[in-house]
Amino acid sequence: MGRYPSWDARKVDLRLRSLGCELLRTSGSHRHYSNPFQPDRLVTFAWHSGDVSRGIVADICDDLAITRDKFYFDR
């Protein structure tokens, strides 16, 4: 197992909400969240069954301008 755990879409959603993101809209299976750290950027990911790939989580972290350590492990 790698350093970063696998998370499903529900857990990513809960983490985004705990960071201050709000669900703005959905387009099909994609969910668009506000970005409290960079208001001019949205955070988007596809809501599917199974785990969200670590690459998508890395993209979410880039959109939020935070590290993956902060996303996964900070409370």
pLDDT of residue 33: 97
* Residues 51-66: tens digit of each pLDDT: 999 999 999 999 999 9
DSSP string, 20-73: T--EEEEETTEEEE--SS-TT--EEEE--SSEEPHHHHHHHHHHHT--HHHHHH
* Residues 27-43: tens digit of each pLDDT: 999 999 999 999 999 99
Within-domain flag for 11:
yes
pLDDT of residue 74: 87
Within-domain flag for 64:
yes
Please give the tally of structural domains in the chain.
1
Q: What's 52's domain CATH number?
A: 3.30.920.30
pLDDT of residue 1: 55
pTM value? 0.91
Is beta strand 51-52 parallel, antiparallel or unpaired with respect to 43-46? unpaired
Within-domain flag for 1:
no
